[in-house]
Structure 1
Amino acid sequence: MRAETTGAGPGSGARAGAGTASGARRTGAVHRLGPVAEIPVGEARAYAVDGQQIAVFRLRGGGLRAVDAVCPHAGGPLADGQSDDAVVICPLHAHVFDLSTGESASGAEPLGCYPVGLAADGTLEVTV
């Protein structure tokens, strides 16, 4: 059984197709990434998934979020940016992105958001 902690489906507020300017394709495939314990609470990690980079954030409030790992403005590594339970700030030029919707409060192109959850064994799973 999979515990869904965020999603891009109806009612989630997330835009499934947001920020896919990189040409990323959506297949609906579930990818197992590794143990959630690899990401300390309040931090993020980037993963290579199906030919693209996805950052998974382990929120202080207990949730998970998955978004494009690369800032669309200048290619900054978003997993290295400062974040809280709502936003991440790109470490290069301080663009701010909502972790639930991918929208930028500072005018950058939006990020893609991906459903992410935990398998029964504690393994992170992301759907792309």
Structure 2
Amino acid sequence: MARKHEKLRVWQSAMDLVVATYEETNAFPKFELYGLAQQMRRAAISVPSNIAEGYGRNSDLEFLRFLHIARGSLFELETQIKIAARLGYIRPEELLCLNERVFAQLAALLHRVQSETPRKASGVKRPASSE
């Protein structure tokens, strides 16, 4: 049975970003296993994890807080992708494209939740799968 946060497009895209990050970092030099590769993996994992955790909270303000944390992790990962590209470890196009897709979807969800937050106090529910 899928949880409601799993129906969010942004969560699904963030999961795709995690998989792609793991695939790309598998080819890193061995000495980077506990360096840049691990940092990239942690940043990528943080995005869908924070979306899920925020969704599971009882407060829309908490949900927004976790969505902002996820956005910060996207910025972190983008920087790390660019570092890996400068070091010649990866071709960054695919990861940057996925990162940008998640960023856009997350921005749309943030906007939607922020704009609906006053109405939510009167019982309006979170979007189930529209963002």
TM-score of the superposed pair, with normalisation by structure 1: 0.28
Q: Which has the higher helix share?
A: 2
Q: Which has the higher strand share?
A: 1
Larger radius of gyration: 2
